[in-house]
Structure 1
Amino acid sequence: MAVPLLAEENPASARQVPPTIAIIIDDMGHNLIEGERLIAMDQPLTLAFLPFRRHTTLLAEKAHLRQKEIMLHAPMANTRLLELGPGGLNPGMSQPEMATTLRRALRSIPHVQGVNNHMGSLLTQQLKAMDWVMAELTHYPVYFVDSRTIASSIAGHVAAGYRIPTLTRDVFLDNEQTEEYVDRQFELLIKRARQNGSAIGIGHPHTVTVDYLEKRLPELDEQGIAIATVSAVWAIRNGNRQMFAEGEKRQIRPALAKKQ
Structure 2
Amino acid sequence: MGHDPVQGERLIKLDQPLTLAFLPYRRYTRALAEEAHGRGKEIMLHAPMANTHHYDLGPGGLKPEMDEHATTVTLRRALQSIPYVQGVNNHMGSLLTQKRSNMDWIMTELVQYPLYFVDSRTIAATVAADSAEAHRVPNLTRDVFLDHLQTEEFVDRQFKLLIETARRNGTAIGIGHPHKVTVDYLEKHLPQLDEQGIAVATVSGLWAMRHNNAPMFVDIKRPVVAPLAKRKVGGE
TM-score tier (shorter): over 0.9
C-alpha distance after superposition, 1:67-117 (max 9, x if no partner)? 000000000000001110111000111100100000001111000001000
Q: Which residue of structure 1 lines up, in the alignment, with residue 59 of structure 2?
A: 86
Tell me which of 74, 79, 84 is aligned to 2:47. Answer: 74
Structure 2 unaligned residues grouped into runs of 5+: 232-236
Check if 1:44 corresponds to 2:21: no
Q: How far apart in 1 are the matches of 2:226 and 2:194?
A: 38
Q: Which residue of structure 2 lines up, in the alignment, with residue 191 of structure 1?
A: 164
Q: Which residue of structure 1 lines up, in the alignment, with residue 227 of structure 2?
A: 256
Check if 1:241 corresponds to 2:202: no
Aligned-residue offset at 1:160: 1.1
Q: Is the Cα–Cα contact under 8 Å of residues 114 and 142 in structure 1 kept in the other structure?
A: yes
Q: Is the Cα–Cα contact under 8 Å of residues 109 and 257 in structure 1 kept in the other structure?
A: no
Q: With structure 2 as the length reference, what TM-score do the two structures score? A: 0.95
Aligned-residue offset at 1:254: 3.5
Q: Which residue of structure 1 lines up, in the alignment, with residue 120 of structure 2?
A: 147
Q: How far apart in 2 are the matches of 1:85 and 1:212?
A: 28
Aligned-residue offset at 1:204: 0.1
Aligned-residue offset at 1:241: 1.0
Check if 1:133 corresponds to 2:106: yes
Tell me which of 169, 177, 185 is aligned to 1:204. Answer: 177
**Identical positions, percent:** 66
Q: How far apart in 2 are the matches of 1:111 and 1:192?
A: 30
Q: Is the Cα–Cα contact under 8 Å of residues 108 and 259 in structure 1 kept in the other structure?
A: no
Counterpart code for 2:217: F
Q: How far apart in 2 are the matches of 1:152 and 1:255?
A: 31
Structure 1 unaligned residues grouped into runs of 5+: 1-27
Q: Is the Cα–Cα contact under 8 Å of residues 110 and 257 in structure 1 kept in the other structure?
A: no
Q: Which residue of structure 2 lines up, in the alignment, with residue 177 of structure 1?
A: 150
Counterpart code for 2:11: L
- 1:47-126 equivalences under 5 Å are 47-126=20-99
Q: Considering Cα pairs closer than 8 Å and 6+ residues apart, tell me whether 1 or 2 has the greater RCO.
A: 1
Q: Is the Cα–Cα contact under 8 Å of residues 82 and 226 in structure 2 kept in the other structure?
A: no
Q: With structure 1 as the length reference, what TM-score do the two structures score? A: 0.86
Runs of 4 or more consecutive aligned structure 1 residues displaced over 6 Å after TM superposition: none
Structure with the higher fraction of residues in strand conformation: 1
